[in-house]
Amino acid sequence: MHAGTPIAVIRRSPSEWASRRAVVQGWVRTRRDSKAGISFVNLSDGSCFDALQLVVPNTLANYATEVLRLTAGCSVEAEGTLVQVQGKDGTVGVEMQVEKLQVHGFVEDPDTYPIQPKAHSMEFLREQAHLRSRTNTFGALGRIRHTMAQAVHRYFSDNGFFWIHTPIITASDCEGAGEMFRVSTLDLANLPRTPDGKVDFSQDFFGKESHLTVSGQLNVECWALALSRVYTFGPTFRAENSNTSRHLAEFWMIEPELAFADLKMDADCAEGLMKAMFAATLTERHDDMKFFVERVDKEAITRLEKFCAAPFERIDYTEAIRLVERAAAGGHKFEYAPFWGMDMQSEHERYLTEQVFGKPVVVMNYPKDIKAFYMRLNDDGKTVAAMDILAPGIGEIVGGSQREERLDVLDARITEMKLDPAAYWWYRDLRRYGSVPHAGFGLGFERTIAYATGLGNVRDCIPFPRTPKSCAF
């Protein structure tokens, strides 16, 4: 085996590689034969959007036996000399005059190889998730996803945040962010029972009920009250029966937590983070973004440029409701009439972010009755320091809040919402020992990618999507 040169490295500086020898390894996209005695093989190794054209002469020993049998998907290794070529549009390109070509693996039955050089529907590709990585779309998606993840870590690290690895499995029954997946080693066909007939979880692996996490927030708060600025970034699980283009049962979430911070600093952080992610995408993955503009969403690049250029709109919930009410009074048709105190419907959120402002909107200070117990009560006694960021096209992309740091107020809220204070003993301890104002938020990674690429469905923004009734691959 040779160590091949990534095609990305070659394409980055064609003039530097011209007339040099190299070995490239990858998968065939297309093959065209010329009776002038050569075949053209387009080879992709996924290192960048563009493939490399191999020019294969019929003088190779395996030309008739192997080269002429190459079809889309075959894996090959080619050795030869790189030459600079002039593209029809005047751009400088590079191709390889092949001197040796080794086939690692043929495609068993080219007739049924699912990834053909043509447009496939996203639904079909979802059913071919093990091979869709070889398409232009998912290659670009995979590279952009990587770049955005790197940008997340870079942004936080540059701003003094530490990455905290919060647990995937939790026996805490106080996360309260949604339906949870159970984690158990009990024999489902033969469950141990307590004398009163209930399942005896004391015999389970952890000696109590345990689940997959729905949020790392409570855990990461513990570390914020020690390392000051922290974040989690990892998989999160919701067993909700949600069948939409914006929901996954397993998704990745970014949850920073800032000590000595209020809601405004929280929103600043969210805005800075998203802009850093998109700026990195625009500069580092221009080739892939160009493809999304051509084939998926014409606005993909200009949308991100606009996103990065202007400050987010920031309004209070009360003002947001006023705007929606005024629109309704002015004849705008909503299915649900807006009123102060309601949890805004998608249609209201869409109206604000798409019609009124045409850019991301931070909505702050929601009525306390529609928000979680841990959100900090404002001085008006009616609202909490919560914020949602709404983006055109996908709706809610961030949910965050300043946390209630006063033990007496927190306890009152826990009681008010009929929760069990004892279950929150360690969370309450944070307020008993050196409590400080702090704030944080959750950013849905796949939703952010959907926004950036224009892909309309988060199921196409993760390599292997998990949704209700669907856990293939």
Partner RNA sequence: UCCCCUGUAGCUCAAUGGUAGAGCGGGCGGCUGUUAACCGCCAGGUUACUGGUUCGAGUCCAGUCGGGGGAGCCA
Instruction: Identify residues 44-103 at the interface with RNA (CB under 7 A).
Output: 53, 55, 69, 71-72, 85, 87-88, 95, 97
Q: Give the phi and the psi of residue 289 in degrees, each rounded to 5.
A: -65, -35
Angle between helices 263-284 and 300-309 (to 10 degrees): 140
Give the three-class secondary structure for 446: helix
Q: Three-class SS of residue 68? A: helix
446 class by beta-carbon count within 10 Å (0-12 exposed, 13-18 middle, 19+ buried) = buried
Choose between 173 and 354: whose C-beta lies nearer to RNA.
Answer: 354
Subset of 308-367 contacting RNA (CB under 7 A): 343, 345-347, 350
Contacts of RNA in 251-280 (CB under 7 A): 251, 253
Least Cβ distance, residue 121 to RNA (angstroms): 3
Binding-site size for RNA (CB under 7 A) equals 71
Which residue's CB is nearer to RNA, number 238 or number 431? 238
Which residues in 211-230 contact RNA (CB under 7 A)? 215
19 is a site residue for RNA (CB under 7 A)? no
Q: What is the dihedral of CA 198, 201, 204, 208, to 10 degrees?
A: 160
DSSP codes, 210-233: EEE-S-SHHHHHHHHHHHSEEEEE
By CB under 7 A, name the one of 26, 80, 338, 442 that touches RNA. Answer: 442
Least gap, CB of 274 to RNA (angstroms) = 11
CB 463 within 8 A of CB 155: no
Binding mask 164-183 for RNA (x = CB under 7 A): -------------xx-----
Q: What is the dihedral of CA 120, 124, 127, 130, to 10 degrees?
A: 0
Q: Can residue 117 be called a binding residue for RNA (CB under 7 A)? A: yes
Determine contact, residues 7/47, Cβ cutoff 8 Å: yes
Three-state SS for 464?
coil
- Does residue 202 interact with RNA by CB under 7 A? no
**Does residue 397 belong to the site contacting RNA (CB under 7 A)?**
yes
What token pair was written down for 190? 């033969």
- Measured from the CB atom, is 201 or 465 closer to RNA? 465
Nearer to RNA, 204 or 269 (CB): 269
> Smallest gap, in angstroms, from Cβ of residue 146 to RNA?
19
- H, E, C per residue of 270-313: HHHHHHHHHHHHHHHCHHHHHHHHHHCCCCHHHHHHHHHHCCCE
Which is closer to RNA, CB of 6 or CB of 456? 456
Helix (H, G, I), strand (E, B) or coil at 134: helix
Report the nearest approach of RNA to the CB of residue 364 (Å): 14
Query: Min. distance of Cβ 404 from RNA in angstroms?
Result: 16
* 8 Å CB contact between 256 and 229: yes
Tokens of 380: 């008006």
Q: Which stretch binds RNA (CB under 7 A): 34-42, 167-175, 196-204, 361-369?
A: 34-42
Site for RNA contains 457 (CB under 7 A) = yes
- Nearer residue to RNA within complex by CB, 122 or 407: 122
